Structure 1
Amino acid sequence: MPKFTFNLPDIGEGIAEAEIVAWHVKVGDIISEDQPLADMMTDKATVEMESPVSGVVTKVAGEAGDVIAIGAMLVEIEVAGDADNEAEKPAKEPILAVVEDENPHAPEPVSIAEVTPPPVAPPPVAPTAMQHATPAVDKVTASPAVRQRAKDLGVDLADVKAAGGHVRHADLDAFLTYGTQLGYRPAQFHARRADEAVKVIGMRRRIADNMAASKRHIPHFTYVEEFDVTAIEAMRADLNANRGSKPKLTMLPMLIVAICKTIPQFPMINARFDDEAGIVTRHGAVHLGMATQTDAGLMVPVIRDAQDRNIWQLATEIARLADAARSGSAKSEELSGSTLTLTSLGPLGGIATTPVINRPEVAIIGPNKIVERPMFVGDTIEARKLMNLSISCDHRVVDGWDAANYVQALKKLIETPVLLFTA
């Protein structure tokens, strides 16, 4: 029977190759026209390939994680009747949309032990002569707290040696440390997980490549400053209490307003560096990337023209883009073209961070968590809400002096929040 060769079509301007993220067919499958064949990932989106013909799959190009050049064979299909030459019959247009599988980019385990060994049962402990002779005398005594702890751990207090027969927490600790010769294993301990090798493909590979390229090419430096956010947090609480149908405000929209208001004085922060051409482009508009954690890995949706939006519009757009990234429905144009990136771990923000720059940008800003601490205010000590803010910069483009001055300008706006709403 004739065979039809489906070559990987041109799936985007400037795209020379694509990675196989997942196969929907295998050799020997009977398929129909328009049936999905594979998910292919480019730098911009995940593309679903559909079969232009019906038949039986006789050959596939590689496995998940392999990179295929545009125009190379993707699938070979045995068809009934005469097979049209693919050069004469153009392939169907691929669906250029982010695939909305539950987790389309999740790495597939390559080598996982199929059976986890069960816990080794403790060997029986031979009763001692004393136990045989005077079972009633050897009754263990312990406080209710020690008994409850032993019960939670699955420890028989009769196995724990204690001076005078009264078991204390210290005796239980010693047994946990040194009593393994009895074959003891706490009840909540489970058999050790088997090792597994996970192939780095899809989104995880893109993240790995981008982070490695950023650290390899960019000489990073990080500057950290402490902000007193007591006043702006009070303002935020008032705005939320009277927001009506507007979205609830977090710190991020107010910080973005401050970032955008200070950029005109420090244009080198909002820039992209083409190091191969030796050109730095200082952008007038702030297209702010928002680092967002998803099941598939870290994605950076972009708030276009952030400088033209108010705090409520920013709050709405942040929520919309985060939902789109996490659900896999973000469009390719929403995931590219940022000129400056903001990364926040929210309550997990830590004391300070050293974020990695989103190349080819030259700076990334990372607010850390807000904590309440005593602070001198004039001659008195007050409880104040404090937050550290980190900025990492490309030292080829941004000097430390400029980065420090930029953060100080941000600090002034954040600590005097009324300035955010003045011309």
Structure 2
Amino acid sequence: MGEFIIKMPDVGEGVAEAELVEWHVKPGDPVREDMVLAAVMTDKATVEIPSPVTGTVLWLGAEIGDTVAVKSPLLRIQVAGEGGEVAAAPVPEAVTIDTTDEQSPPAKVESPPSVEVKTPVQPAPVARAVVQSPADKPLASPAVRLRAQESGIDLRQVPGTGPAGRITHDDLDQFLARGAQPSVTPAGLAMKTAVEEIKVTGLRRRISEKMVLATSRIPHITYVEEIDVTDLEDLRTTMNASRKPDQTKLTILPFLMRAIVKAVAEQPGVNATFDDDAGIISRHGAVHIGIATQTPAGLTVPVVRHAEARNIWNCATELVRLADAARTGSALREELSGSTITITSLGAMGGIATTPIINHPEVAIVGVNKIMTRPMWDGSQFIPRKMMNLSSSFDHRVVDGWDAAAFVQRLKVLLETPALIFIES
């Protein structure tokens, strides 16, 4: 028998390390050739690691959440015949995500140690009172239980000094002497003390890192404005009723995307990215709109590229395609990066107002809140109108408050008079 060492593969594009996000095996498990052993995540993709051999797992070289350097030992497998080592060849990328451009911390992979096992010296037992867990049944004699019941005492609150934490009459006397109030838990109710610890790994770690980066570096200014979308909703309903079979059903987002295209033509400073390390603002002619999308794995931002060159139907089709790809994990790297401005929307759960966090290194994000019918004064009477708030955040280092307000007010005019969205400049 021999040992086969599998090393962290080179996943390409100059990536020197990756985060281990999933083990599919444990020591002692049999594996066969081409069986998926683990999954690692780079800045842009999750990659599965297959086994090049058949054998039995002896040792794992990292824990979930560890950052593993390329060519570091990843696991050892016992095989028939002579062993060896190889950098496993990853399968083609199957899942891609939006992550920060920041590098991960240095790798913490340890080589398999040669360990001398020693039996630890056990400390001498110490007599002490044991407090019963609320989930445990207290240890006590029937007489002690009867006395506690008659006194209205919850035995789970009484420290026991008897063998294995058994509660004695003396323990009850001391409990009452301390002035403890009787405690009676209503039938069917019990205190819960369980704590679930969840290690932050994979996409959740990337989201966390990106949010910290954005909030620590960007001084946000948030501007909230209400929009009367009654006419827009009427137009959307009419267009959907007459759409062709091959046309995607319109939501409010394609209208907002086209409105953003027109508004940034007048306020190009909000369609920009800011390299704060180099001190360079890049104003983009192309309007690449990121669409914040909730997926089973977490928040991602697929990008509708060149919205300035798409009509409203094409915007709708591309938006649906990218959202589906993001949710199923089939989006490509280039579809999850390169946005110049982002839209975030919670649909019917959008609330009255939000304070969206800018998608670094962009300088603006437009938040869509829910549409509500409210009574609005028209000068002579109250009439029902469909109202929606836009909550937009801007990088105050780059965008002044006046320019932010001018941008949002232009969106307001376009959305409240939706025919203007279709007029070519």
Alignment partner, residue 106 of structure 1: none
Q: TM-score, normalised by structure 1?
A: 0.77
Kindly state the Cα deviation for residue 30 of structure 1 after the two structures are TM-superposed.
Answer: 2.3
Match of 1:184 among 183, 186, 189: 186
Q: Secondary structure at the match of 1:59?
A: strand
Q: Which amino acid aligns with 1:258?
A: A
Kindly state the Cα deviation for residue 240 of structure 1 after the two structures are TM-superposed.
Answer: 1.5
Q: Secondary structure at the match of 1:96?
A: coil
**CA RMSD of superposed structures (Å):** 2.6
What are the within-5 Å matches in structure 2 for residues 201-216 of structure 1?
201-216=201-216
Distance of 1:184 and 1:78 partners within structure 2: 57
Q: For each residue in 1:251-290, what CA deviation from the matched residue of structure 2 results, as whole angstroms up to 9, or x when unmatched?
A: 1111111011111221111111111122111111111111
Q: For each residue in 1:69-106, what CA deviation from the matched residue of structure 2 results, as whole angstroms up to 9, or x when unmatched?
A: 122111122332233453xxx64243222189xxxxxx
Kindly state the Cα deviation for residue 249 of structure 1 after the two structures are TM-superposed.
Answer: 1.3
Match of 1:96 among 93, 117, 130: 93
Alignment partner, residue 274 of structure 1: 275
Contact preservation (8 Å) 2:228, 2:387 = yes
Q: For each residue in 1:103-137, what CA deviation from the matched residue of structure 2 results, as whole angstroms up to 9, or x when unmatched?
A: xxxxxxxxxxxx994999xx9x99xxxxxxxxxxx
Distance of 2:398 and 2:280 partners within structure 1: 10
Kindly state the Cα deviation for residue 191 of structure 1 after the two structures are TM-superposed.
Answer: 6.5
Distance of 1:85 and 1:298 partners within structure 2: 38
Alignment partner, residue 145 of structure 1: none
Alignment partner, residue 58 of structure 2: 58
Q: Secondary structure at the match of 2:4?
A: strand
Kindly state the Cα deviation for residue 217 of structure 1 after the two structures are TM-superposed.
Answer: 0.9
Alignment partner, residue 421 of structure 2: 420
Contact preservation (8 Å) 1:356, 1:364 = yes
Residues 258 and 83 (structure 1), Cα distance of their counterparts in 2 relative to 1, 3 Å cut = same
Distance of 2:375 and 2:65 partners within structure 1: 53
Kindly state the Cα deviation for residue 225 of structure 1 after the two structures are TM-superposed.
Answer: 0.9
Distance of 1:95 and 1:83 partners within structure 2: 26
Kindly state the Cα deviation for residue 15 of structure 1 after the two structures are TM-superposed.
Answer: 1.8
Contact preservation (8 Å) 2:222, 2:392 = yes
Distance of 2:250 and 2:407 partners within structure 1: 24
Contact preservation (8 Å) 1:29, 1:56 = yes
Kindly state the Cα deviation for residue 333 of structure 1 after the two structures are TM-superposed.
Answer: 2.1
Q: Which amino acid aligns with 1:340?
A: I
Residues 77 and 181 (structure 1), Cα distance of their counterparts in 2 relative to 1, 3 Å cut = closer
Alignment partner, residue 313 of structure 1: 314
Contact preservation (8 Å) 2:96, 2:331 = no
Unaligned runs of 5+ in 1: 101-114, 127-179
Q: For each residue in 1:132-167, what CA deviation from the matched residue of structure 2 results, as whole angstroms up to 9, or x when unmatched?
A: xxxxxxxxxxxxxxxxxxxxxxxxxxxxxxxxxxxx
Instruction: Give percent identity, aligned residues only.
Output: 54
Contact preservation (8 Å) 2:220, 2:394 = yes
Distance of 1:99 and 1:363 partners within structure 2: 24
Alignment partner, residue 368 of structure 1: 369
Contact preservation (8 Å) 2:292, 2:299 = yes
Q: Which amino acid aligns with 1:420?
A: I
Q: For each residue in 1:161-191, what CA deviation from the matched residue of structure 2 results, as whole angstroms up to 9, or x when unmatched?
A: xxxxxxxxxxxxxxxxxxx977534x7x677
Q: Which amino acid aligns with 1:95?
A: P
What are the within-5 Å matches in structure 2 for residues 103-182 of structure 1?
117=135
Q: Which amino acid aligns with 1:219?
A: P
Distance of 1:24 and 1:116 partners within structure 2: 36
Contact preservation (8 Å) 2:6, 2:85 = no
What are the within-5 Å matches in structure 2 for residues 9-88 of structure 1?
9-86=9-86
Q: Secondary structure at the match of 1:212?
A: helix
Alignment partner, residue 261 of structure 2: 260
Distance of 2:96 and 2:368 partners within structure 1: 32
Alignment partner, residue 304 of structure 2: 303
Distance of 2:388 and 2:90 partners within structure 1: 50
Q: TM-score, normalised by structure 2?
A: 0.76
Q: For each residue in 1:170-214, what CA deviation from the matched residue of structure 2 results, as whole angstroms up to 9, or x when unmatched?
A: xxxxxxxxxx977534x7x67737221111111111111110111
Contact preservation (8 Å) 1:11, 1:94 = no
Distance of 1:209 and 1:350 partners within structure 2: 26
Contact preservation (8 Å) 1:116, 1:194 = no
Q: Secondary structure at the match of 1:198?
A: coil
Q: Secondary structure at the match of 1:343?
A: strand
Q: Secondary structure at the match of 1:237?
A: helix
Distance of 1:194 and 1:43 partners within structure 2: 35
Unaligned runs of 5+ in 2: 98-132, 139-145, 151-181
Q: Which amino acid aligns with 2:91?
A: P
Q: Which amino acid aligns with 1:31?
A: V
Residues 16 and 369 (structure 1), Cα distance of their counterparts in 2 relative to 1, 3 Å cut = same
Greater alpha carbon shift after TM alignment, 229-238 vs 327-336: 327-336
